[in-house]
Homo-oligomer: A and B are copies of this chain.
């Protein structure tokens, strides 16, 4: 093959970044892939707007089928995002024996195993390095770099918006809403931040990582999700006093005993000494622990035009090198995700430590009521913090960090506490990961 032609579907921010990156490193890409790679057609619903890149406007069409049916195109880069029409485009591309490179984590976390199966049936690759961790080559690390390991657990800071907000809430003691507004002003958060701050983005990425790490077909719907919007500055401050930092983590673990997988996303207290605790601002990091390699960490920019283009082009080059015969490429076949196979551990069975913030009516005996309810549910207290800062409404916050307890017991205890007359409002709970 003299030249590898690429069709790009979705000409937004990331698509523009890919066009620019190919222009910038054209010679290097040609050398390493063994063949020139170029984008010969672009499809987008908006064909008019001039993007901030050097390209021939004549190659832009509103008709994705023009690319998907073009026999001269061997790779489709899908950057439409979302479930539809992205999935339809990708399916058509695979059926037309085109390799697909995508950054679409929502699609992968929903239909990933089906699409990988479809790719295999058609003898082509579906690569998705850009779907998790931006420029960090974490997908390849799981698929090839540590492929000899039984992965035990994965902890990831996977959403730059949340990490930016938590970093600034923690550093400056400001409220979630204030920092969110600032992040929106800086372009680090979307006008509608729900997808990011409620943890859905992290859950999509966690489903992908869990599937690859444990070779099970784990999808978005299998992941327990809790976002960061209910966190108060006081929680970050309490965490700090107790030796923790709060991060929104995507967590996937395999139970050593019964092989069941827990996949969950929630704001998490982690020790300040952990490397993950020092991942700040818009950076992402993924810690992977395997039975041979031990603890590894992969760190970098989790979003943005250039880092995402870096990941997309690493996939493009793997395919192009294979097509050019210059080299063989790693493929997605090896670590295929078995369709339909999974063994999940429900969140109710989670056992970990918990951070509890209980607003108690300021009267004698309140603590006795709370501690006896906790004891009744087999929850023992590791440390307690009563800040003494009385709230104007005659209530005081009591902070409790428990020893390992069962999620179901904790939820039952909190429900019972909420129904007593000493609790001022619904207790707030955060989960702790101590061994990081």
A189-216 vs B, CB cutoff 8 Å, 1 = contact: the mask equals 0000000000000000000000000010
Query: A147-B32, A147-B317, A334-B32 in contact; A296/B326 too (CB < 8 A)?
Result: no
Tell me, yes or no, whether A301 is within 8 Å of chain B by CB: yes
Q: Which residues of B contact A306 (CB under 8 A)?
A: 291-294
Minimum CB–CB distance from A33 to chain B (whole Å) comes to 7
Q: Which residues of B contact A294 (CB under 8 A)?
A: 135, 300-301, 304, 306-307
Q: Which residues of B contact A290 (CB under 8 A)?
A: 135, 310
Tell me, yes or no, whether A407 is within 8 Å of chain B by CB: no
A269-293 vs B, CB cutoff 8 Å, 1 = contact: the mask equals 0000001001000000100001111
Tell me, yes or no, whether A247 is within 8 Å of chain B by CB: no
Tell me, yes or no, whether A261 is within 8 Å of chain B by CB: no
Tell me, yes or no, whether A217 is within 8 Å of chain B by CB: no
Asked if A331 and B335 sit within 8 Å, CB to CB, the answer is: no
> A148 is contacted by which of B145, B309, B322, B335 (Cβ under 8 Å)?
B309
Tell me, yes or no, whether A149 is within 8 Å of chain B by CB: yes
Asked if A292 and B278 sit within 8 Å, CB to CB, the answer is: no
A339-370 vs B, CB cutoff 8 Å, 1 = contact: the mask equals 00000000000000000000000000000000
A132-144 vs B, CB cutoff 8 Å, 1 = contact: the mask equals 0001110011001
Chain A interface, DSSP helix/strand/loop, else mixed: mixed
Minimum CB–CB distance from A126 to chain B (whole Å) comes to 13
Q: Which residues of B contact A135 (CB under 8 A)?
A: 146, 290, 292-294, 296
Once bound together, how far apart are the Cα atoms of A330 and B332, in whole Å? 12
Tell me, yes or no, whether A129 is within 8 Å of chain B by CB: yes
Tell me, yes or no, whether A314 is within 8 Å of chain B by CB: yes
Asked if A148 and B29 sit within 8 Å, CB to CB, the answer is: yes
Minimum CB–CB distance from A354 to chain B (whole Å) comes to 28
- Closest residue of B by beta carbon distance from A129: B145
> A328 is contacted by which of B140, B299, B300, B329 (Cβ under 8 Å)?
B329
Q: Which residues of B contact A428 (CB under 8 A)?
A: none
Asked if B145 and A314 sit within 8 Å, CB to CB, the answer is: yes
Minimum CB–CB distance from A100 to chain B (whole Å) comes to 17
A111-146 vs B, CB cutoff 8 Å, 1 = contact: the mask equals 000000000000000000100000111001100111
Interface residues on A, range: 35 or more
Q: Which residues of B contact A331 (CB under 8 A)?
A: 327-328
Minimum CB–CB distance from A66 to chain B (whole Å) comes to 26
Query: A148-B313, A296-B135 in contact; A33/B334 too (CB < 8 A)?
Result: yes
Q: Which residues of B contact A334 (CB under 8 A)?
A: 32-34, 317, 321, 326-327
Asked if B301 and A293 sit within 8 Å, CB to CB, the answer is: yes
Once bound together, how far apart are the Cα atoms of A306 and B290, in whole Å? 10
Binds B, one of A20-28, A153-161, A230-238: A20-28
Q: Which residues of B contact A311 (CB under 8 A)?
A: 293
Tell me, yes or no, whether A425 is within 8 Å of chain B by CB: no
- Closest residue of B by beta carbon distance from A137: B145
Once bound together, how far apart are the Cα atoms of A331 and B331, in whole Å? 12
Minimum CB–CB distance from A39 to chain B (whole Å) comes to 14
Tell me, yes or no, whether A385 is within 8 Å of chain B by CB: no
Query: A137-B141, A300-B296 in contact; A149/B330 too (CB < 8 A)?
Result: no
Minimum CB–CB distance from A40 to chain B (whole Å) comes to 18
Once bound together, how far apart are the Cα atoms of A159 and B381, in whole Å? 42
Tell me, yes or no, whether A318 is within 8 Å of chain B by CB: yes
Q: Which residues of B contact A140 (CB under 8 A)?
A: 137, 140-141, 144-145
Q: Which residues of B contact A411 (CB under 8 A)?
A: none
- A-B contacts, 5 of them at CB < 8 A, read A32-B148, A144-B314, A144-B318, A147-B313, A326-B333
- Those 3 A-B pairs whose CB atoms lie nearest each other, nearest first: A137-B145, A148-B313, A135-B293
* A residues in contact (CB < 8 Å) with B: 21, 24-25, 28-29, 31-34, 129, 135-137, 140-141, 144-150, 215, 275, 278, 285, 290-301, 304, 306-307, 309-311, 313-314, 316-318, 321-322, 326-331, 333-335
Known: A25-B148, A326-B334. 10 other contacts (CB 8 A): A25-B292, A32-B147, A137-B296, A141-B141, A144-B317, A146-B314, A275-B299, A278-B278, A298-B298, A299-B299
